[in-house]
C-alpha cells in the first residue's frame, strides 16, 4: 500500500498486487473498511475508485488486456 497526494491535493491510497493472476474479484467495501481500521481516514465520501495498470518503466513496451470485467454496487 502506498499513500500520497494527488495533483489536486486529495489523498491517494494505492494498493498493489504482489503476485500474478489471471482472474479475481476486488471487494472495494472491505478494502475501504480495512484502510479505515488502520487509521488512514475517518468517515469520508469516496470521490472515485480507479482500477488498472500503471507502468513506471517497461523496456520495449508491454501490452496489458482486461477482458470481461464489471462493477457491481450493493
Question: For residues 71 and 56, what is the distance between their CA atoms, to the nearest angstrom?
Answer: 26
Question: For residues 27 and 74, what is the distance between their CA atoms, to the nearest angstrom?
Answer: 11
Which grid cell sits at 7? Answer: 495533483
Residue stretches of the chain with pLDDT short of 70: 56, 58
Question: For residues 12 and 5, what is the distance between their CA atoms, to the nearest angstrom?
Answer: 5
pLDDT on residue 62: 75
Query: Is 42 within 8 Å of 36 (Cβ atoms)?
Result: yes
Amino acid at each position: 500500500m502506498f499513500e500520497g497526494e494527488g495533483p489536486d491535493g486529495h489523498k491517494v491510497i494505492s494498493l498493489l498486487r504482489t503476485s500474478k493472476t489471471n482472474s479475481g474479484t476486488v471487494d472495494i467495501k472491505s478494502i475501504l473498511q480495512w484502510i479505515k481500521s488502520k487509521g488512514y481516514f475517518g468517515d469520508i465520501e469516496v470521490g472515485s475508485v480507479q482500477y488498472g495498470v500503471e507502468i513506471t518503466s517497461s523496456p520495449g513496451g508491454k501490452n496489458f488486456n482486461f477482458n470481461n470485467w464489471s462493477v457491481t454496487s450493493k
